[in-house]
Amino acid sequence: MLWLFHWLPLGAQALCGDAVGRLGYRFVRSRRKIALRNLELCFPEHSDEQRVELARRHFRWLGRSLLERGLLWYASPARLRRLIHVEGDVHLAERSERPVMWLAPHFMGLDVAGASVLLFQNRKGISIYQTQSNAVLDRALRRGRLRLGNAEIFSRDEAGRALVRAIRRGDGFFNLPDMDFGTRDAAFVPFFGVPAVTLLAPSRMARALNMIVQPVVAEILPRGAGYRVRYEAPWTDFPTEDAVADSARMNRWIESEIRRNPAQYLWVHRRFKTRPPGEPSLY
């Protein structure tokens, strides 16, 4: 279906994705409840009506991101280069004598950001992905993310030493730092003022491997205008000797990016699922 769908003009795909998102908000109640709860926790200053409207817009962007995945999986590199508008220093990793970590939070255009790494620069890009329980979907995700070449992905369960070896040989690491994977190698760090399990690995890995950390943020543009991917200036204050403080600094940056574009952040993920000992579930 996605292969057929990707031939449509992006404007038509955007309309269809918007419609799917509207239906999703109405009928996928479990994810709607998670999104509304996250917005309640992160934006307590907003009224209920404001949070509902934000959640509705979020689902519309979510619908687009799901249907437009076909573009990333099947469209020609030339077409993708026309649709993806890159801002900032995308070639940093090519020039750097030190390995580069691209730090990319979970906005709706996250996979577009990953594709931009492969389309607009020549350094090999590597990343970690969560193995899908559905084997057919897992194969499709792997094939789609690797088809542009010059890339390698490791499942979260088996990354370890292979990931470190790849970074040491100079591959750029596309790192997704903002999901709840439990307390292993993580700490409770404020995220919009709420303690959230946050991975310490970005700081520890950057320090151990002498990496440059470059933030990357992707945005889906309205009405089929394409996508924008911003490669920001590398951080000069990261990492430090304090991994917890570094993780708090990272969360503050993600918060600032969310406030710029709140409807396109991944609110349907249970970001606050893991709680400190003795605290009840927030969901």
- pLDDT tens profile 66-80: 999 999 999 999 999
Does residue 93 surpass a pLDDT of 90? yes
Residue with tokens 């991944």: 266
CB 181 within 8 A of CB 269: no
With a cut of 90, say whether residue 225 has pLDDT above it.
yes
What per-residue confidence (pLDDT) applies to 156?
A: 79
- Is it the case that residue 246 has pLDDT exceeding 90? yes
Give the helix/strand (H/E) hosting 20.
helix 10-27
Kindly state the percentage of the chain with pLDDT values over 70: 100
Q: Could you give phi then psi for residue 243, rounded to 5 degrees?
A: -65, -35
* Full residue range of the structural domain in which residue 129 is found: 85-264
In eight-state DSSP terms, residue 10 is H
- The pTM for the full model equals 0.94
Residue 275 · residue 281 · CB < 8 Å: yes
Mean pLDDT on 15-36: 98
In a domain, 52, yes or no: no
Q: How far apart are CA 115 and CA 178, in angstroms?
A: 19
CA distances from 75 to 54, 71, 139, 146 (A): 31, 5, 18, 13
Query: Is residue 242 predicted with pLDDT exceeding 80?
Result: yes
Q: What is the DSSP letter of 265?
A: B
Could you tell me if residue 34 is inside a domain?
A: no
Average pLDDT of the segment spanning 220-231: 96
Average pLDDT, the chain: 95
The pLDDT, as a whole number, for residue 266 is 98
Asked if the structure places residue 19 within a domain, the reply is: no
Read off the pLDDT of each residue in 133-158 and give the average, rounded to a whole number.
Answer: 88
The gap between the terminal CA atoms of the chain, to the nearest Å, is: 34
Task: Tell me if 38 is assigned to some domain.
Answer: no
Is 191 a domain residue?
yes
CB distance 116 to 86 below 8 Å? yes
Q: Where would I find the H helices in 169-271? A: 201-208, 243-260
> Is residue 179 included in any domain, yes or no?
yes
Is the pLDDT assigned to residue 60 strictly greater than 80? Answer: yes
Say yes or no to pLDDT of 159 above 80.
no
In a domain, 140, yes or no: yes
pLDDT in tens, 100-136: 999 999 999 999 999 999 999 999 999 998 888 899 9
- The SS3 of residue 87 is strand
Q: What is the model's pLDDT at position 67?
A: 96
Residue 137: what pLDDT?
Answer: 87
The count of structural domains within the chain is 1
Q: Is residue 208 part of a domain?
A: yes
